Amino acid sequence: MKNLILILCGTFLFSFPFTTTVKSQDLYEKANIKKYEKANQELPAATKKEKRVVFMGNSITEGWVNAHPDFFTENNYIGRGISGQTSPQMLMRFYEDVVSLNPKAVVINAGTNDVAENTGSYHPEFTLNNIKAMAAIAEANGIKVILTSVLPALQMQWRLDIKDVPAKIMALNKEIEAYAKAKKYGYVDYFSAMKDEKNGLPENLSKDGVHPTGEGYKIMEKLVKEEINKTLK
């Protein structure tokens, strides 16, 4: 099983080249694989009847746990988001932060920082392949998969030079949804429920146009909990 994971990681991580400004060592360090090492070790072993769910993501997921910790503790959900992360970085730590925790399901939210080019030029097929790889690793380990849309954003405040952000997000979401449907995975469409008339995040749901406010997270919680319950039924 571990060999399968290594093969999948190798296949998808190197399917497309990064820009020359991003070194592989930098990517590994920024993956921050050890961030949750202590928390993972302190988790009690999952029981057969336990409906443990891990949320894999970026700052949107990390901020969610900080903003609404009760949503996670009361539902036996575990947040494993790291601010700024792109899909290849999530893939690199997927075994440590998801598979090793033996959850019944994983919720994968990736793509925002890929579009923002946090670790190199944006290649939509590369991002999608990394999401597919995470899903394949989960499925190979008996973990049910729930994919989610990238949240709407009109622009990335830390990368204002990135153009056509809504169009890129919508195109990626279309591919993620189609893949989820083809594989019979769960899918949560945050985008449609939260977008404004410009396909960005409205002010009442986000202060910076990217990260949800408490009201934004409430919308996400309703949607994702419904899909989790459906998936684990």
Question: pLDDT, tens digit, for every residue of 167-204?
Answer: 999 999 999 999 999 999 999 999 999 999 999 999 99
- Measured CA to CA, the distance from residue 10 to residue 81 in angstroms comes to 22
- Measured CA to CA, the distance from residue 100 to residue 47 in angstroms comes to 13
Q: How big is the CA angle at 194 (ends 155 and 175), to the nearest 5 degrees?
A: 75
Q: How big is the CA angle at 77 (ends 72 and 78), to the nearest 5 degrees?
A: 95
Say which residues have a Cβ less than 8 Å from residue 212's Cβ, sequence separation at least 6.
60, 63, 64, 151, 194, 201, 205, 206, 219, 220
pLDDT tens per residue across span 15-72: 433 344 455 566 667 789 999 999 999 999 999 899 999 999 999 999 999 999 999 9
What pTM value is reported for the model?
Answer: 0.89
pLDDT tens per residue across span 105-151: 999 999 999 999 999 999 999 999 999 999 999 999 999 999 999 99
Element at 170 (helix H, strand E): helix 165-183
